[in-house]
Amino acid sequence: MAQDWAKPFYNSKKWIKCRELYKQEKNGLCERCLKRGIYNPGEEVHHKIWLTPQNINDPEITLSFCNLELLCASCHTYEHVGKLSPVREGLMFNEIGELVEVYPPIQES
């Protein structure tokens, strides 16, 4: 399940720096919850255009703020589970496609 092609990117200094700058720009809050008036800490910087082996070396996709979204665990789960079902409740994909347990379980919005 782990996507080996994505790991060097996620471990790169460029990405870690970009991710931190983006989090700061969004004041560390989940963008989707904020739209509903909820202040939830953002945990994952999500790529709106999902990363693939074809675009992993394209900084316009991987490092452009236009393609990033700061999400809490629930919103991030929803984003990925909605597109990669089925996944049991309480499990989510992290940003490199690994299944991880998540608490609390996904909230219906």
Interface ranges with Zn ion (CB under 5 A): 30, 32-33, 40, 46, 72, 75, 95
Q: Which is nearer to Zn ion, 18 or 95 (CB)?
A: 95
Q: How far is the CB of 73 from Zn ion (least distance, A)?
A: 8
Concatenating the DSSP letter of every residue in the chain gives ---GGGHHHHTSHHHHHHHHHHHHHTTTB-HHHHHTT---B--EEEESS---TTTTT-HHHHT-GGGEEEE-HHHHHHHHHHHS----TTEEE-TTS-EEE-SSPPPP-
Q: 13 or 35: whose CB is closer to Zn ion?
A: 35
Nearer to Zn ion (CB atom), residue 21 or residue 96: 96
The amino acid at 31: E
CB of 69 to Zn ion, least distance (A): 8
Smallest gap from Cβ 46 to Zn ion, in A, equals 3
Q: How far is the CB of 17 from Zn ion (least distance, A)?
A: 19
Nearest to 39 by CA among 75, 65, 67: 75
